[in-house]
Amino acid sequence: MSTDNIIPFPRNIRAEIEIEMARAIRNFGHTPDLMGIAHCWGDTMDDQEVLAALRILNRTGSWFDYVPDRAY
């Protein structure tokens, strides 16, 4: 197997998600916004989308204006 076909994972994204999730809980509690992100994780949103949504939530207080940058 050639090593040029291996795509490395970015930094420990799960650890970053845990940090952002804890920050959101501390700042906002278990709001519908946060629960929506948590329930979408692994179902309709991948790790990178969840991390982006959490960062937007922590920055603006809402993630409902967030639209993933993904072509369908």
Q: What is the pLDDT of residues 20-51, one digit of tens each?
A: 999 999 999 999 889 999 999 988 899 999 99
pLDDT of residue 66: 59
With respect to residue 51, please indicate whether it lies within any of the assigned structural domains: yes
Residue 20 maps to a domain: no
- Cα–Cα distance, 14 to 70 (Å, whole number): 20
DSSP single-letter state for residue 61: S
Q: Is 19 a member of any domain?
A: no
Instruction: Look up the pTM and report it.
Output: 0.73
Give the pLDDT of residue 3.
Answer: 54
Report yes or no on 41 lying in a domain: yes
Residue 50 lies in a domain: yes
- d(Cα 32, Cα 12) in Å, to the nearest integer? 26
In a domain, 39, yes or no: yes
Looking at the domain assignment, is residue 55 inside a domain?
yes
Q: Tally the domains of the chain.
A: 1
Q: Taking Cα atoms as reference points, which of 63, 54, 1, 49 lies closest to residue 26?
A: 54
Q: Of 11-15, 61-65, 67-71, give the lowest mean pLDDT range.
A: 67-71
pLDDT at residue 1 greater than cutoff 50: no
The answer to the question of residue 15 being in a domain is no
- Can you say whether residue 4 is alpha, beta or left, with left for phi > 0 and alpha for psi between -120 and 50 degrees? alpha
